[in-house]
């Protein structure tokens, strides 16, 4: 009973307006969902960008690193400008949830409208626009970001009106991520039996032995990204 009361109290604190804050300054882009301002990690609320290790298909049915592209497009759009973020509450990895603006423009909405993220909240109309104009991810075929980590042979592939016949094998094959999706994304993230997320750097003891085709394993592009998404560094 005591433990239950503590959990309820913690959830109340997380949801409380007391947790609301305003942050202003240049942003460090960690991935298409996550930024950092003044050492505060912020999860852009209401959107789901692809994971940095996510692979999509382009208009010609060719594989491309859409997760890295989404992050890089956000970096280019930010272009060192000042961000204004309004945060309220935190997510399961203790990132502040926020709506962010650059010179008055809603960045969360821009990510969805430009096709670099899907809506998981109030931005559905922008997602419709992106799909109609074949912007970003919508130029080809892809897996919804929330399905990517637990994908299997039955996972739905969405995107352009004409999905390639071999899309299932290209995007859902078990060996898809045996190699890094990008030369910069060489950190290995593994999930233990107890659900603990651990990342391994090249040169660490068990790095070469890890099988990245196992469900739940993923490639990461930086330690900052790994830690922002709930991974901790392997002891050796």
Average the pLDDT over each of 12-16, 24-28, 201-205, 230-234 and give the range with the smallest value. 12-16
Segment 109-131 shows an average pLDDT of 97
Tokens standing for residue 221: 């592009």
In this prediction, residue 19 carries a pLDDT of 65
Is residue 15 pLDDT above 50, yes or no? Answer: no
| Distance of alpha carbon 235 from alpha carbon 81, whole angstroms | 37
Quick one: pLDDT band at residue 175, thresholds 50, 70, 90? low
Segment 199-216 shows an average pLDDT of 91
Quick one: pLDDT band at residue 202, thresholds 50, 70, 90? very high
Are residues 168 and 82 in contact, defined by beta-carbon separation less than 8 angstroms?
no
Q: What is the CATH number of domain 18-174?
A: 2.40.50.90
Q: Where are the domains of the chain?
A: 18-174
Is residue 17 pLDDT above 60, yes or no? Answer: no
| Distance of alpha carbon 82 from alpha carbon 36, whole angstroms | 12
In this prediction, residue 139 carries a pLDDT of 94
Who wins on pLDDT, 12 or 182? Answer: 182
Average the pLDDT over each of 34-48, 86-100, 162-176 and give the range with the smallest value. 162-176
Quick one: pLDDT band at residue 11, thresholds 50, 70, 90? very low
In this prediction, residue 216 carries a pLDDT of 81
Each residue's pLDDT tens digit, 150-172: 888 889 999 977 778 888 888 88
Report CA-CA distances (Å) from 194 to 39, 63, 190, 197, 198: 29, 33, 11, 9, 11
pTM of the model: 0.87
Start-to-end CA distance of the chain, whole Å, equals 39
In this prediction, residue 232 carries a pLDDT of 96
H-helix or E-strand spanning residue 125: helix 124-132
């Amino acid at each position: 009973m005591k433990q239950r009361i503590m959990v309820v109290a913690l959830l109340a604190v997380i949801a409380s307006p007391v947790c609301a804050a305003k942050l202003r300054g240049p942003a460090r882009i960690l991935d298409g969902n996550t930024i950092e301002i003044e050492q505060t990690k912020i999860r852009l609320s209401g959107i789901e960008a692809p994971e940095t290790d996510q692979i999509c298909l382009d208009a010609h049915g060719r594989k491309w690193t859409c997760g890295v592209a989404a992050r890089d497009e956000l970096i280019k759009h930010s272009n060192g400008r000042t961000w204004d973020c309004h945060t309220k509450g935190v997510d399961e990895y203790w990132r502040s949830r926020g709506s962010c603006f650059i010179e008055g423009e809603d960045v969360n909405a821009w990510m969805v409208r430009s096709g670099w993220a899907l809506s998981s909240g109030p931005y559905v109309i922008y997602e419709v626009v992106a799909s109609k104009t074949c912007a970003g991810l919508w130029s080809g075929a892809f897996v919804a970001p929330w399905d990517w980590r637990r994908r299997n042979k039955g996972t739905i592939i969405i995107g352009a009106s004409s999905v390639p016949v071999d899309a299932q094998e290209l995007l859902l094959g078990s060996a898809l991520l045996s190699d890094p999706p990008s030369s910069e994304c060489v950190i290995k993230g593994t999930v233990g039996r107890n659900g603990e997320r651990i990342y391994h750097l090249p040169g660490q003891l068990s790095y070469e032995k890890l099988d990245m085709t196992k469900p739940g394993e993923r490639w990461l592009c930086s330690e900052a990204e790994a830690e922002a998404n709930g991974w901790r560094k392997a002891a050796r």
